[in-house]
Structure formats: C-alpha cells, structure tokens
A and B are shown apart, each in its own frame.
Chain A
Amino acid sequence: MSDYNFAYLDEQTKRMIRRAILKGLAVPGYQVPFASREMPMPYGWGTGGVQVSAATLTPEDTFKVIDQGADDTTNAVSIRKFFERTAGVATTEETEKASVIQTRHRIPEAELTEDQILVYQVPIPEPLRFLEPRETETRKMHALQEYGLMHVKLYEDISQHGAIATSYAYPVKVSDRYVMDPSPIPKFDNPKMEMAAIQLFGAGREQRIYAVPPYTSVVSLDFEDYPFEASKADHPCDLCAAEDSYLDEVILDDAGNRMFVCSDTDYCRSRREAGHVGRLGEEAAA
C-alpha cells in the first residue's frame, strides 16, 4: 500500500463518482456529467475508466485490466500496476476470476456473470459528436430523441459504399431510449452488450459517466433491408483454432505472411490449455 487513500481518490470524490454511476444505471445510456479529476495518467489514457474503477473497487475485489483484449499491453499493465499500488487489490488475468474488469476497445469473449462489473474506457462519449460538434446541441438532440441525423449518416454510408461504413464504436440504442457510444469496441462485440454483468463507461477528459444495467436491451442501429452484421476476420485462430473469437492480424515476415490470433489473450490461453490447437499452435508451443 502507499500513502494515498484506498484506490487513490479521496472518499468525497469517490462518493461524487458513485452518485454519477447510480444515476447512469437509473437512466441507461444517458451521459451523466461528473467533475472528473486530474489523475496521475494522461487524459485519453483511461482516466475515466480509472476513476470509475476507483469508485467501484472494494478491498475484496479481484481486478483485471485489458487493452485490445490483452492483459499484457503496455497501458493495461500500467493501469493494473496503479491499482496494485494504490488499492492493494488482487489482480488476475483470468476473466472468470475477476469481479471488476477494466477494458479498452474490447469485451472479453467469455460470457460475463451477474457478479462482475465491466468498466469501459471511453474517449468520446457522445455518439453524435462527429455529426454535431457542439455539446449544447447534442444534449438537446438526446433530450428530444432527435436521432434522425444518425440515421441519415448510416443511410449515406449505404448509398456511397453499399454498406454501413462503421466498423468500431458502432452506435447502439439502449433500452429503446438513448443512442449511446459503446466506446471504440469492434462492432463484433456489440451483440455481447446485452449481458448479465453491469457495464459502466467512464470518459475522464469529457467528464461523462454512463451505464448499461444487466439484461438491458442494447440494439445496434441499422435498417430492415441492411441489418446490422457483427464481423471479424474470416479465419480461425492460428493458435487455438477458435472460430468464434475476434482476431488480430499479425504480419510474420518480410514476405507479408500473416497469422490470425485471438485478441482476447486469456480466452486463447484457456482454449490452448484445454487442448485446442490451431494451424500454427504446435510451432508456437515449441
């Protein structure tokens, strides 16, 4: 432990954040303004997620941090270390063993349970931001449920490209009310958002918290004749042969040979331990 309060933030600040979280859970998908604090990591590097995790963690929790689905990416390591140091909580890389999971850009492949909380790091919480840069305007649009602009954007995609040209941070409608940014997860992950776990979203720089309670409807925006499609690379994992996981493409050599591996490193590890072997799995194990 260190000289800082449990999980770094002082209790008053945590209380303020918990109020915002509760409000967010009460109004699913609504962006609750909160007085975000300067954290000892830069804005844009997960300060929102870190503040939400700090307000959520208790000494009994087991904490997992992933970035791009992996536990060992540099920023995930840095955030995990931060809470090891300031909260002294147990940490794990195993999805099932974690009670709080902070993530950037992915939802774990393993199905989450009612005993888990998934905390997302969010860069731009406003799904309408790139259609309308003004906060004063977008808040009005949400209040009036004026989402026509978003549908026009998706329609224009179809008319120009023949498909909706959004592959990540794909907008969703929560509980049939608010259009919400799911954070920059690939759209492959969108269907997983109707889940048993609590989902909390923290945007530190933009000073917003929002939430999706368990078993809440989360619908990816689409059209009847152009239905939403979760997509991934059309390969099995080269290490564990998984057909159902989101894959990273890795360039192997100067000749441009590639391999595809699970982006969720814990999922891949557990499958390999269970005896699944992919195209290059033998070689990798050697």
Chain B
Amino acid sequence: MYVAVKGGERAIDNAHAWLAEERRGDTSVAELSLVQIREQLALAVNRVMAEGSLFDPDLAALAIKQSRGDLIEAIFLIRAYRTTLPRFGYTLPVDTGAMACDRRISATFKDAPGGQVLGPTFDYTHRLLDFKLAAEGEAAEAPTSAPRTEPTPHITEFLQGEDIIEREPMSEAQPGDLTREPMAFPADRSVRLQSLTRGDEGFILGMAYSTQRGYARNHAFVGELRIGTVAVEMEIPELGFAIKIGEVELTECETVNQFKGSKTVPPQFTRGYGLVFGQSERKSIAMALVDRALRWKELGEDNLGAAAQDEEFVLSHSDNIQATGFLEHIKLPHYVDFQSELELVRKLRREAAEAVEQMAAKEAAE
C-alpha cells in the first residue's frame, strides 16, 4: 500500500547525525586540530581563502575540517559566513611592490634587481612518494639567510622604462564589487579580475590552458611571479591618515604578452594580471592568462570565437559555488515536472501510433 512520503524532517536530522559521525571517522584515531590543518594543509587553506574571498586561515581550517576535506564545500561555508559580516569600509590598495617576498621569480630575465628567489616551491622536486613522511619523521631544518630590506621592484617597471610594454591606465575610479552589485555585461576589468580571483581554480586553469593550446593564443611569458606578505592599510576618518590593520599573504603574477600593434599603437608588449590570496601560484598564473585573453576588445584584437575570450561565458561559469549548487540541485525532487513530461510523451506516442494505424488501414483499403 502507498505510504505517504512523510518524515522528511526526521530523515534530515538522522542524515545530519550520520554525517557528523562519518566526518569524525574512527574515534580511536586522534582528531585533527584546526592548527594542524592550518599549518600542515596550508595550500588547501589558501585555496579556501582565495575562492571563499575571506582572508582568515583559522576559519578556512575550520571549514576544511567541517567539510571533511571537500574544498568546494569548505569554500561554500566561508562564503556563507562572510556574507553575514558587516562591511566597515575599504582598505587602501595593497602595495605589492613593497611585498616581503618568500618567492620571486622571473621567466623573462636571467637575473634582475631583487634576484631570483625560489622559495618553498614544488617546482624542482621529483614527484616520488616520500615514504619517510608516513613514518612521521621531523623535517630537517632549512638553511636561512638575512631577508632583503629594500623593496623588490616589479620586472615590468624595467620594460616600462623602455616604453616597450603598455602602460596601465591610472584611474581614481571606484573599482566594481560583484558582491554588492549584480554582474552586468560588458564588465570592466576590475570586475573581471575580482571574478577571476574568486573563480574556481580548475575552471580558470582549464580556460588558461585552452589559450595556450591555440584557442585565442596570446603567448604569455611569466614576467614575474611573487609570493609574500603585504601590509593592509585603512584610512580611519577620525585620524585623517592610514594605519596598518594587518597583513595578508598574496601571490601576484604579471605576464608579458605579445602584441603586434595597431594603427594608433606601435608594437609593444601587453599584460595579463593575476592576484590571489595565499600561496596560490597555479591560480594566479592561470588568472593572468585568462585576464589577457579577455582584454581582446580593448586591445583592438580579433574575436577568434574562443571560449576564453568570451567574458559572458567565462564570468558566468567561473564561480564554483554557483556551479556546484545548480549542478547538484538536480538531485532535488522534480517529480511534478517529470509527471507533466510523462503525460506529454505518452500523449505524443499515442498520437503517433494512431497515425501509423490510420496509414496502415488506408493502405490496406487501397
């Protein structure tokens, strides 16, 4: 007999209880602490901060723990939390030229003022599983040296001195904020960059990769990649001047791209820009490539019909919280709509069958 589909409420409560138990796993194994996640899964924490648009390593660690390591779920937790926070104001633009760099490399010059500083990179490791880690050995201490005291100049400044790279236009305009204004197209570069820096790493990576493989190719040199901490300053109205309110870790990538020149502009290099919270190297390079691809119109280039050039396509689909929500909503009941489709298909089939019968009868009569 038909049992009414009652009991949604109890089913949900029980599912949540089971989830909590699964999250904890085997209780004979020590529980993860937030500091362990923050210190030892720092790159996961960075990704959650970057795509969650909230710089707070402790909250990001909590989100990772709560989400059982599902980073998109963790990003969602952070986004939902940050939306409830009051907005006191805006900081001054951060000065990445004054960054205390942990890593700073250029692919365009063998050496440059400030030097090539590899920093803590996977780049030249051999990807061999290190079974020593399974034995929980202490890491050997890394050698140290005195940090640079003077600021590290941007590589593009040297090209700019020669006037061989486009100049970024100076502007006092308020940058857009897609968390406060609905996205509208065409979007200006500030909104595009905001969207890209919050966007899903995998999606941005795929888009950037497609430009490298020939879909709107804009051959990119990594002019510079730097990772480090910068001061965050805010102007306090009562004081009348800016004070430092904290520090954030950032990854900045500036690409140097080719450009043939146009009727009004002599041949010169152009730029792509990536800036991401935390040590997020892959993301910032990918962001710079996609930023550059999206600039075809302002640089007077051809629209090659490539996905990475299509701002509406890229910006509408880069947010993994929107994407995962809509994708997964098809798990929800849709039986009302399915029922109406069922009726329609049955009706169309009935009519088709009748038509065939009539045709056969007519032929038999002839």
Which residues of A are at the interface with B, using a C-beta cutoff of 8 A? Answer: 4, 8, 10, 33-40, 42-45, 47, 67-70, 72-78, 81, 104-106, 123, 134-136, 161-163, 165, 167-169, 184-188, 205, 207, 231-233, 238-239, 246-250, 252, 259, 261, 263, 265, 280, 283-284
| Given contacts A38-B82, A43-B325, A231 and B6 within 8 Å (CB-CB) | no
Complex: A207 Cα to B76 Cα, angstroms: 17
Q: Tell me the bound Cα distance from A123 to B185 in angstroms.
A: 20
7 A-B pairs whose Cβ atoms sit less than 8 Å apart in the complex: A33-B182, A33-B184, A69-B336, A81-B9, A136-B312, A163-B344, A248-B339
Interface residue from B12, B182, B339 paired with A77 (Cβ < 8 Å):
B12
Bound together, the chains give a CA A73 to CA B335 distance in angstroms of 11
Contact assessment for B8 and A44 in the assembled complex, using a CB-CB cutoff below 8 Å:
no
Interface contact A162-B348, CB-CB below 8 Å: yes
Q: Closest residue of chain A to B178, judged by CB?
A: A35
> Contact between B329 and A45 (Cβ–Cβ < 8 Å)?
yes
Q: 17 additional contacts, CB 8 Å, given A44-B328, A73-B333, A169-B337? A: A8-B84, A10-B84, A33-B184, A35-B180, A39-B83, A42-B324, A43-B322, A43-B329, A44-B325, A67-B333, A105-B334, A163-B348, A168-B341, A239-B2, A249-B339, A249-B342, A263-B336
Residues of A within 8 A of B40 (CB): none
Cross-chain contact B326 with A231 (CB below 8 angstroms)? no
Is B343 among interface residues, defined by CB-CB distance under 8 A? yes
When distances are taken between beta carbons in the complex, the residues of chain B under 8 Å from A232 are 340, 343
User: Are B339 and A186 neighbours in the complex by a CB distance under 8 Å?
Assistant: yes
B contacts, CB < 8 Å to A: 1-2, 4-9, 11-12, 76, 79-80, 82-84, 86, 179-186, 312, 316, 321-322, 324-329, 332-337, 339-344, 347-348, 351
Count how many pairs of residues, one from A and one from B, have CB atoms less than 8 Å apart in the complex: 152
Residues of A within 8 Å of B332, CB to CB, are 45, 67, 74-75, 104
* Whole-angstrom distance between the Cβ of B343 and the nearest chain A Cβ: 6
Do A168 and B12 have beta carbons less than 8 Å apart? no
Which chain A positions have C-beta within 8 A of B184? 33
Contact A161 B343 (CB under 8 A): no
Do the beta carbons of A231 and B343 come within 8 Å of each other?
yes
**Is the Cβ of A74 less than 8 Å from the Cβ of B339?**
no
**Which residues from chain A contact B322 at a C-beta distance below 8 Å?**
43, 205
Of B12, B179, B316, B340, which is in contact with the most chain A CB atoms at under 10 Å from its CB?
Answer: B340
Minimum CB distance partner of A5 in chain B? B84
Scoring B6, B11, B335 by chain A CB atoms within 10 A of each residue's CB, the highest score goes to B335
Residues of the A chain whose Cβ atoms lie less than 8 Å from the Cβ of B316? 135
Q: Which of B5, B84, B321, B341 is the one whose CB lies under 8 Å from A73? A: B5
The residue that B83 contacts in the complex, of A37, A69, A105, A261, with Cβ under 8 A, is A37
- In the complex, the answer to whether A44 meets B329 with C-beta atoms within 8 Å is yes
Q: Which of the residues B2, B327, B329 comes within 8 Å of A284, measured between beta carbons?
A: B2
Query: Is the CB–CB distance between A283 and B5 below 8 Å?
Result: no
Interchain CB contact (< 8 A) of A68 among B2, B327, B335: B335
Closest to B355 in A: A162
Closest residue of chain B to A69 (Cβ to Cβ) is B336
Chain B residue at minimal CB-CB distance from A76? B8
Question: Closest Cβ of chain A: how far from B147's Cβ, in Å?
Answer: 38
B343 engages A233 (CB within 8 Å): yes
Q: Give the complex CA separation of A280 and B335 in angstroms.
A: 21
Known A-B contacts A72-B9, A134-B312, A165-B344; A38 and B339 likewise in contact (beta carbons under 8 Å): no
Which of B9, B82, B84, B347 touches A163 (beta carbons < 8 Å)?
B347
**In the A-B complex, the 7 residue pairs with the closest CB atoms:** A43-B325, A44-B329, A42-B325, A44-B326, A167-B340, A33-B182, A186-B340
| B179 and A231 within 8 A (CB) | no
**Complex: A34 Cα to B83 Cα, angstroms:** 15
Closest Cβ–Cβ distance, residue B297 to chain A (whole Å): 13
Q: Are A38 and B83 in contact (CB under 8 A)?
A: yes
Determine the chain B residues whose CB is within 8 A of the CB of A250 once the complex forms.
Answer: 2
Partner of A184, one of B11, B12, B337: B337
Residues of A within 8 A of B84 (CB): 4, 8, 10
Shortest C-beta distance, B219 to chain A (Å), equals 29
Task: Judge whether B326 and A188 touch: CB under 8 Å.
Answer: no
Residues of B within 8 Å of A35, CB to CB, are 179-182
Known: A33-B182, A105-B336, A283-B1. A72 touches B12 (CB 8 A): no
Cβ of B366 to closest chain A Cβ, rounded Å: 24
Which residues does chain A contribute within 8 Å of B329, judged by CB atoms? 42-45, 123
